[in-house]
């Protein structure tokens, strides 16, 4: 029988721990609401729990519990028996709004992966891992939506920080729907850009490029499909850009990939890596340490690397003049030159 011992009450410490213990309840509530499309269904209207239950084919009483919890989280507002979106939900969680956070469906899919964290720590990998190239159409769409949301926010400012002198031909490895490729061409109209991506991701990039209003920009962007490590992705590039690519591979595969990149560059060409980096002690920033766990449960060998790790990868691949630049988004840009 366990021997219970008295402890000294420390409200601040207990509150901190309890916030961690119960933090999952808030995220699960938000994810479920997004999966049921609650916010988009309500839009600017007022809806009762009965109306939303009928629309979503859910239990009325259970739906009301969910809606009331969303009110407590200040994501919905309640007037008598009807619910409407709060300002933050109307702005970011309604699909028709320009600032819609399209990361929600993909993030909710990570819920199951995180549920395997204990097993992953024991085994060194998630036993139920699925790689991006093997995603179903819906899983791919959710992933691409998340990538596009992040890239559309970062790309304009990130590309402005890259010196495009003598750059005319750009390759974006793992280019999503083309947010960075578009910004490269916008920054320097003489540039021709290529997006290299998995076959299951390519249709989404093709669809996105069809709807770019500036057809002159869209026509300067080419899409090539394949596997980064197995297939050739062309040559004679002046710049090859990898945004959040290294984090999905182990260090040895990244050395192999960096060598392929070097072989595909012209002499004087540069590799530009954007990624989340972690400090040498691997304990900061907090977000990046938690993201390292996400990569444990959601990739085969992926990790968050230190600046020293990236330097070693690029040196092993034969790059020189390696330098690091911090961005305003918590990411780092690492540059290397083929000489």
Give the tens place of pLDDT for each residue, 262-282: 999 999 999 999 999 999 999
Is residue 102 included in any domain, yes or no? no
The mean per-residue pLDDT over the stretch 229-257 comes to: 96
Contacts from 70-74 at CB under 8 Å and sequence distance 24+?
70/29, 70/30, 70/33, 70/38, 73/26, 73/29, 73/30
Token pair for 147: 């990538």
Is residue 156 included in any domain, yes or no? yes
Domain boundary among 60, 95, 130: 95
pLDDT score, position 13: 84
Is the predicted pLDDT of residue 295 greater than 90, yes or no? yes
Q: Are both 80 and 153 inside the same structural domain?
A: no
Q: Are both 125 and 259 inside the same structural domain?
A: yes
Q: Are both 198 and 61 inside the same structural domain?
A: no
Q: Are both 181 and 131 inside the same structural domain?
A: yes
CA distance 197 to 203: 10
* φ, ψ (nearest 5 deg) of residue 84: -140, 165
Give CA torsion, residues 184, 186, 188, 189, to 10 deg: 120
Q: Tens digits of per-residue pLDDT, 153-197? A: 999 999 999 999 999 999 999 999 999 999 999 999 999 999 999
Burial of 5 (0-12, 13-18, 19+ CB in 10 A): exposed
Tell me the pLDDT band of 6, cut-offs 50, 70 and 90. low
First to last CA, the chain: 70
Is residue 176 included in any domain, yes or no? yes
Tell me the pLDDT band of 7, cut-offs 50, 70 and 90. low
Model's pTM, two decimal places?
A: 0.92
User: pLDDT over 70 for what percent of the chain?
Assistant: 97
SS3 readout for 259-288: HHHHHHEEEEEEEEEEECEECCCCCCCHHH
Q: How many domains does the chain have?
A: 2
CA distance 76 to 170: 45
Q: Are both 213 and 290 inside the same structural domain?
A: yes
Tell me the pLDDT band of 58, cut-offs 50, 70 and 90. very high
Is the predicted pLDDT of residue 339 greater than 80, yes or no? yes
Domain boundary among 95, 110, 132: 95
175 contacts 197 by C-beta, under 8 angstroms: yes
* φ, ψ (nearest 5 deg) of residue 53: -65, -40
Q: Are both 160 and 59 inside the same structural domain?
A: no
CA distance 108 to 207: 24
Crossing angle (nearest 10°) for helices 137-160 and 179-187: 30
- Domain range for residue 31? 11-95
pLDDT score, position 4: 67
176 contacts 242 by C-beta, under 8 angstroms: no
Q: Are both 308 and 202 inside the same structural domain?
A: yes
Tell me the pLDDT band of 8, cut-offs 50, 70 and 90. low
């Amino acid at each position: 029988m366990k021997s219970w011992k008295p402890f000294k009450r420390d409200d601040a410490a207990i509150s901190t721990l309890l916030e961690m213990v119960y933090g999952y309840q808030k995220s699960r509530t938000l994810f479920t609401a997004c999966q049921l499309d609650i916010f988009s269904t309500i839009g600017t209207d007022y809806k009762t729990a009965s109306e939303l239950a009928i629309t979503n084919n859910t239990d009325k009483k259970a739906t009301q519990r969910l809606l009331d919890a969303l009110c407590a989280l200040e994501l919905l507002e309640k007037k008598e028996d009807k619910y409407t979106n709060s300002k933050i939900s109307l702005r970011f969680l309604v699909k028709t709004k320009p600032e819609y956070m399209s990361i929600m469906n993909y993030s909710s899919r990570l819920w199951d992966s995180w549920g395997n964290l204990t097993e992953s720590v024991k085994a060194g990998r998630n036993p139920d891992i699925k790689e991006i190239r093997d995603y179903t159409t819906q899983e791919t769409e959710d992933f691409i939506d998340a990538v596009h949301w992040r890239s559309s926010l970062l790309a304009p400012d990130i590309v402005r920080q890259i010196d495009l002198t003598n750059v005319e031909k750009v390759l974006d490895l793992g280019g999503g729907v083309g947010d960075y490729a578009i910004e490269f061409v916008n920054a320097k109209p003489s540039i021709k850009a290529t997006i290299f991506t998995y076959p299951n991701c390519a249709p989404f990039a093709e669809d996105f490029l069809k709807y770019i209003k500036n057809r002159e920009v869209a026509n300067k962007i080419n899409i090539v499909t394949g596997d980064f490590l197995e297939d050739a992705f062309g040559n004679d590039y002046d710049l090859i850009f990898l945004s959040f690519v290294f984090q999905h591979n182990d260090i040895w595969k990244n050395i192999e990939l960096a060598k392929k990149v070097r072989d595909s560059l012209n002499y004087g060409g540069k590799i530009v890596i954007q990624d989340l980096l972690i400090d040498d002690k691997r304990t900061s920033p907090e977000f990046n340490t938690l993201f390292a766990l996400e990569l444990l449960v959601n990739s085969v060998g992926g990790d968050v690397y230190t600046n020293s790790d990236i330097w070693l990868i690029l040196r092993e691949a034969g790059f020189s003049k390696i330098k690091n630049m911090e961005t305003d988004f918590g990411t780092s840009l690492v540059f290397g030159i083929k000489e």
